[in-house]
Structure 1
Amino acid sequence: MSVESEVSQDGKKLTIAIKGRFDFTSHQHFRDAYERFYKVPETYVVDLKEATYMDSSALGMLLLLRDHAGGDDAEIQVVNGNSDVRKILAISNFDKLFDIN
């Protein structure tokens, strides 16, 4: 498991890439990925291209990110999830809270 973050040059977009299992063991790394920036980005992208697994604690972490980013006004994209991850997000109705691609 690893969590990598990259901010765009203009500071408006933060991309967080999850590799391996997205579960409770990645909680602190995931929080650090977005809390360590002084300037709050306008857009957050959570890239799940290399995520192999996602559990309910990962869903909770996405909700914490949403709260941090401004709640209902937050612009968060969850991208590149495999079919299993997309199914979990759909069953949990996260498509109502996040832009899922």
Structure 2
Amino acid sequence: MTVQASLAGNGRELTIKIDGRFDFSAHQEFRDAYEGVSSQVNCYTVDMGGTSYLDSSALGMLLLLRDHAGGDSADVTIVNCNQDVRKILTISNFEQLFKIQ
């Protein structure tokens, strides 16, 4: 499981790429990916193209990111989900909290 964060050239967009299993073992690495970044960031993208598994603790971590990004006014997009991950997000009604592409 790896978490990689990259900041766009303008300093306002952060992409967090998650590869492998997204579960509690990724908690600290995932938080570190966005907490230490400039306060200028106003757009977050979570790339799950390499994510093979998602559990309830991962859903909680996504909610923590949303709170960090501004709660109801947050601009957080989840992209490149495989069918299984997308199903979990849909069952959890996350499409009401995040943009899912």
TM-score (norm 2): 0.98
Aligned match of 1:41: 41
Name the aligned partner's letter for residue 18 of structure 2: I
- The 8 Å contact of residues 40 and 69 in structure 1, kept in 2 or not, is answered as no
Aligned match of 1:96: 96
Cα distance between partner residues in 1 of 2:14 and 2:38: 12
Q: How many residues align?
A: 101
Aligned match of 1:85: 85
Aligned match of 1:2: 2
Q: Describe how 1:20-99 pairs up with structure 2 within 5 A.
A: 20-99=20-99
- The 8 Å contact of residues 14 and 45 in structure 1, kept in 2 or not, is answered as yes
- Show structure 1 runs of 4+ deviating over 2 A: none
Cα distance between partner residues in 2 of 1:2 and 1:42: 23
Taking a change above 3 Å as real, the CA distance of residues 20 and 87 of structure 1, as seen in their structure-2 partners, is same
TM-score (norm 1): 0.98
Shift in Å, 1:39: 2.3
**Larger deviation, residues 34-43 vs 9-18:** 34-43
Gaps of 5+ in 2: none
Shift in Å, 1:5: 0.2
CA RMSD of aligned residues (A): 0.6
Cα distance between partner residues in 2 of 1:35 and 1:23: 18
Q: Secondary structure at the match of 1:58?
A: helix
Shift in Å, 1:38: 2.7
Identity %: 58
Q: Secondary structure at the match of 1:11?
A: coil
Gaps of 5+ in 1: none
